[in-house]
Structure 1
Amino acid sequence: MKVVDLFKQRADALKHQSEIMQRMSPTIREYWSEIVDITNHGHFLTWARHYHNPVVNEPAVNEPVIEQPVVQQPEFELKPEAQKLYDELQDKIGTVIHQGDWIHVGQDRIDQFGHVTEDNQWIHTDPDRATSESPFKTTVAHGFLTLSLLPALTDSVDPDKPLFPMAKMMVNVGLNQVRFPYPVKAGSNVMAESTLTKVTPIKKGLEIEREIRVKIEGVRRPACIAVSVIHLHF
């Protein structure tokens, strides 16, 4: 069938429908318009069921309401060492649990990081150009260099000062959030402060979340704020 014939057929149908509606009483015409509109939008069957029994989904007055059973979350039986640490940490949530030592971030460290990561932008590795063109008047450390120092800043890699000595192994799971509010200028000293935010039992031990703030000596704004997630195995 040609497109012209389809349009002609459609026009004849609309004309016929209009003639029928003119012969209807106002009340019937209103119901008919509503049915046509709902049918065109594909909701006719839903409307019809609701019109026939508008409270079909509601229980009768005396009909008992059957509640769905609550699915219980699996509970992990912690080892005694893990349970002891878990109980101890509950009272420390929201408090600072570690402050590290100061670490110097000199130009040599920045250059080495740029060489390893192949990020040698002049704002990091060209002191002369940075002095004349950078708003900081000196080179600044890569944001990811500051981030890479977190294990050292939080003593996570120091076997002589373990933060959680009861655990046999600590695994870095990742970071939930990372921000770099202020750059670390070459020659600055930085340190980290860790606040415990969450402790969750897991199958092999505990999941620990900490907010780590990297501070710059003599600067009010932090260099980095990150939410660290680690797993402790016992």
Structure 2
Amino acid sequence: MKVTSFFKNCTQSTSKKNPEFPNWMPPTLREYWEVFFDRKNTSYFFSWVRDLQKVEVNNIDIPVLETFSLNPEAQIVYSELQNQIGAIIHVGDWMRIDQNRIDQFAKVTEDMQWIHTDPKRAKKESPYKSTVAHGFLTLSLLPRLTDSSGSDTFRFPTARMIVNVGLNQVRFPYPVKSGNNIRAKSKLLNVVPIKKSLRVEREIQIEIEGIRRPACILISVIQLYF
């Protein structure tokens, strides 16, 4: 079925079966719906769709991904990681988040909100009945919680440099209370050869001891240089 025929059938079917359907929509959505129906009968709209269908694949310039040759150290790491995509590659040790650490972070960031720094008030007024760590404090501890630093736990000892490219989809599903223990669990999502380096994507969950929901979920992107 052609795209134009599909649109015609859908609009005609919807109008016949549900004549009151547009009335159920919010005003803004109804406005777009009416504009679409007004345009569906214009030759310009369908001529654009027809022209779109005539485009041939041979006439489209499809970019070719550039491939990079890896040095021996990078090739070993790349081959190892390729076999672990989708697997848990690291589970860290538990780390205690006490009030002193929370207070120090509050001073550095100048975020002195009472839910973090006033245990007495938090006990009375907070729904958690305790002070809680800043979400960004949890996030800032990623190098310590993961295998990204430390001579004993560093996962990529042959890399001469590691660069934090960024974080994607950061969420804080559950608060870390003062006195909780947290740890990081890393799942490998992807590894891509980049010029003179490897780009590694990991899904990291920050777990709270004794709590089912995680404190933080994110996708970490790092680059390893060899």
Question: Per the shorter chain, which TM-score range?
Answer: 0.7 to 0.9
Question: Aligned partners of 2:100, 2:155: CA distance in 1, in Å?
Answer: 29
Question: Aligned partners of 1:135, 1:75: CA distance in 2, in Å?
Answer: 53
1:160 pairs, out of 141, 145, 152, with 152
Q: Contact between 1:79 and 1:205, CA under 8 Å: does it hold in 2?
A: no
The 1:167–1:66 alpha-carbon spacing in structure 2 relative to 1, beyond 3 Å, is closer
RMSD after superposition? 2.4
The 1:189–1:202 alpha-carbon spacing in structure 2 relative to 1, beyond 3 Å, is same
Question: Aligned partners of 1:199, 1:93: CA distance in 2, in Å?
Answer: 8
The 1:161–1:66 alpha-carbon spacing in structure 2 relative to 1, beyond 3 Å, is closer
Map 1:74-223; keep pairs closer than 5 Å: 74-223=66-215
Question: Aligned partners of 1:116, 1:147: CA distance in 2, in Å?
Answer: 15
Aligned with 1:77: secondary structure?
coil
Partner of 1:228: 220
1:186-234 per-position Cα deviation (integer Å, ceiling 9, x unaligned): 0000000000001011002100000010000000000000100000000
Q: Contact between 1:102 and 1:190, CA under 8 Å: does it hold in 2?
A: yes
Question: Aligned partners of 2:141, 2:57: CA distance in 1, in Å?
Answer: 56
- Offset, 1:66: 9.0
Question: Aligned partners of 2:72, 2:137: CA distance in 1, in Å?
Answer: 38
Partner of 1:13: none
Question: Aligned partners of 2:149, 2:73: CA distance in 1, in Å?
Answer: 21
TM-score (norm 1): 0.71
- Offset, 1:155: 3.0
Q: What is the one-letter code of the residue matched to 1:67? A: N
The 1:132–1:96 alpha-carbon spacing in structure 2 relative to 1, beyond 3 Å, is same
Matched, 1:67 2:58: yes
1:127-183 per-position Cα deviation (integer Å, ceiling 9, x unaligned): 000000000001000000000011100032212221112211111111012000000
| Structure 1: runs of 5 or more not aligned | 1-40, 60-64
Question: Aligned partners of 1:120, 1:135: CA distance in 2, in Å?
Answer: 18
Q: Which has the larger radius of gyration?
A: 1
Q: What is the one-letter code of the residue matched to 1:163? A: R
Partner of 1:6: none
TM-score (norm 2): 0.74
Question: Aligned partners of 1:114, 1:185: CA distance in 2, in Å?
Answer: 15
Aligned with 1:67: secondary structure?
helix
**Residue-pair matches, total:** 180
- What is the percentage of aligned positions where both structures have the same residue? 59
- Offset, 1:72: 2.0
